[in-house]
Structure 1
Amino acid sequence: MRHDIEPNERAFSSKAVADELGIATTTVRKYGQILERNGYEFFKDGDRRIFVRSDIKALIAIRDTAKNRDDTAIEIVAQQKERLEEKQEAMETKPATQDTYDFSLQDPNQLHEFIKFLSSELAATREMNVQLQNDMSHLKSTVSQLQQDHHVISSGVGNFSQKTNTKIEKLVEQQQNHYEQLLEQEKQKSELLQEEIKQMREEQQKEWRVQNDFNKQLQESFQKPKGFWESLFSVFRK
């Protein structure tokens, strides 16, 4: 089992490693599988790999190798085993030291300082919680306002659309009425014109009949044996 993690050492997820190395998350898993099947050990949270800086260096070596990746993985595993053995030996030879944490709690002054530290941390935590609650309240207010604005905008758009449709329908109706009025006026003018034409034709026919009657009488007068002038005068006396 690995025991080479350093104090306060940062842990990386597969996605964070992928972003740092400029490769896909699936590629990170692929390289990890190559290392594991050759004996490499990762820190794990269940089935999920947890990467530290030494693991990232191993992945970079797999990515950049010009040799077969399994051969490179074997070399990396040998280096890891050597490093873990040296770490284990160092831990076994390190002299045992008294637990300074427990010792400090037995000192009244140290205990007082520790309580002050915890009190300040608790106050800071409470202040942070209050700030978070305020932020959540502000966020809820913002979301509520956005929802109201969305409702107002939606209602405004709907009302505008309805008003526009009403205006268009009214305009179409006005145009239709105007067209029907013009059509009726033209129809009346046409009827009047036809009536005038009819009257003119009747008057013309009447004049033609009068003229025909006159011509006929004149012709008959010239054909009778009585005197010419008497016949002519008789026609005009009628």
Structure 2
Amino acid sequence: TRIVGGSQVSYCRYSYTVSLQDSIGHFCGGSLIAKDVVLTAAHCQGGNYDVVINRHDLGTNTGDRIKMVKEIPHPKYNDRTTNYDFNLVFLDRPTNQNVALVNLNDNKNSPSVNEEVWVMGWGDTVADDYVQRLSDKLMDVSVNVISNGDCDASEGSINGQISDQMLCARDNNEDACQGDSGGPLVLRGNDNSGAKDVQVGVVSWGIGCASKSFPGVYSRVSEAYDWIKDEVCSRSSD
């Protein structure tokens, strides 16, 4: 992950944020949307892995580690364009942790341009393409939503690659990349546990890290809300 320019999160904040871990370690983030379901990015899918819940510091053995038993990527996911970059991860059992579930955004008019949103993860904290320094502790950073038109016109963009299913945000020298893939982008509520946070995006892609010329690109949750709701309601044991 990369949370460049970010700060360490207080222990209970964003308790819905999870770590996807294979035999090597943390490789993607995600968000707990039911006690046994995680929302992440489709480009994170594949292989055998566990989901680690309520572990603020990845250098510890705290929290709950649960095996992934089924993945359902969005049926319209395109690995070439990364459009509809959503993946639902169903767990072997519901978590035993007392953690917040994130609320999902169903309002296609939200968030608005220039609105402050937050992204978090255990990502790379150095903006150097040749150095990857993962943070053991959960980090967050605030960024601001920009219009899809401005995003598409950004230097380095291939014109037309920003679809309606994507959401862009940036702030100078503060961005998420690498290990933060699949992690949540949220409108923050006023509850310290994160129980009132609303997830508006899933970390999808970008060009480089903390690039002033190119923003971070997220999958727009409101565009997949109905699909997520249908799948979770029909498959979750929670």
For this structure pair, what is the TM-score category when the shorter chain's length is used for normalisation? under 0.3
Q: By percentage of residues, which structure has more helix?
A: 1
- Structure 2 length normalisation: TM-score? 0.17
Greater Cα radius of gyration, structure 1 or 2? 1
What TM-score do you get using the length of structure 1 for normalisation?
A: 0.17
Q: Which has the higher strand share?
A: 2
